[in-house]
Copies of this chain bind each other. A is one copy, B any other.
């Protein structure tokens, strides 16, 4: 079902020398607090990669040859158990770094959910650049730290929250993230690019429970569900109260 990315979306990028002006990733500037010089050097090694929906970017355990900046679209990162059970460790959106590792192997698999644009940064070159670019190093360290913080939050969610609390927390998280990136509509309409099954595999539930719990949340008036792929947060306060059993 899932084609390997290397043979499809990434392939067109490999023969870089043929196109006279190599494509660049100007959007890097939007996500990294860097000086002109550092940005120029980073852009020199980054290449834009458009990827279709539902394509695998990499698998966990593979050599981590590239780091990616996601500049549009949504990605899921996950781990599988031998029998196929899946846990989606995170959903990634515009501005997130993906696949940055220090020990040379990806720690999770990643697939696009929607069509996406990525900036692909070869690891060897990035490492070299990091050596004398403290601000970039710092920026990546901040991303890694944030990732760890989110992982801690999520462990609490997975280990100690009820289905309702899980959904409320998740929707709030999505809403905040969406507000952070883009525009804040009132009432806040939040896109849900992932399926109910994806949500279930992120929250440690089943599709059915996600569906039922969303229906219940709608019944409380905290949210509305105008379409399958979006949720309107009508009452953030109520949702926040539900999110940790307050």
State the A residues within 8 Å of B (CB).
Answer: 79, 81-83, 85-87, 89, 101-103, 107-108, 131, 134, 138, 141-142, 144-145, 147-149, 151-156, 158-161, 201-204, 244-246
Contacts and interface: CB of A to CB of B under 8 A. Distances in A.
16 contacts: A79-B153, A81-B156, A81-B244, A82-B246, A85-B160, A87-B155, A87-B156, A107-B148, A108-B152, A144-B144, A151-B151, A151-B152, A158-B158, A158-B204, A159-B203, A159-B204
A144, A149, A156, A159 — most chain B CB neighbours (10 Å) = A159
Contacts of A87: 155-156, 159-160
Contacts of A148: 107, 144, 147-148, 151
Nearest to A159: B204
A245 B80 CA distance: 12
B155 A83 contact: no
A141 B244 contact: no
Contacts of A156: 79, 81, 87
B145 A82 contact: no
Nearest to A80: B156
A147 B153 CA distance: 14
Contacts of A79: 152-153, 155-156
Given A158-B204, A204-B158, A204-B159, A83 B152 contact: no
A132 B142 CA distance: 19
A102 B155 contact: no
Nearest to A204: B159
B89 A155 contact: yes
B245 A160 contact: no
A103 B142 contact: yes
Contact of A155 (B144, B149, B158): B158
A145 B144 contact: yes
A123 to B, nearest CB: 14
A189 B178 CA distance: 49
Contacts of A202: 159
Nearest to A102: B145
A153 B78 CA distance: 11
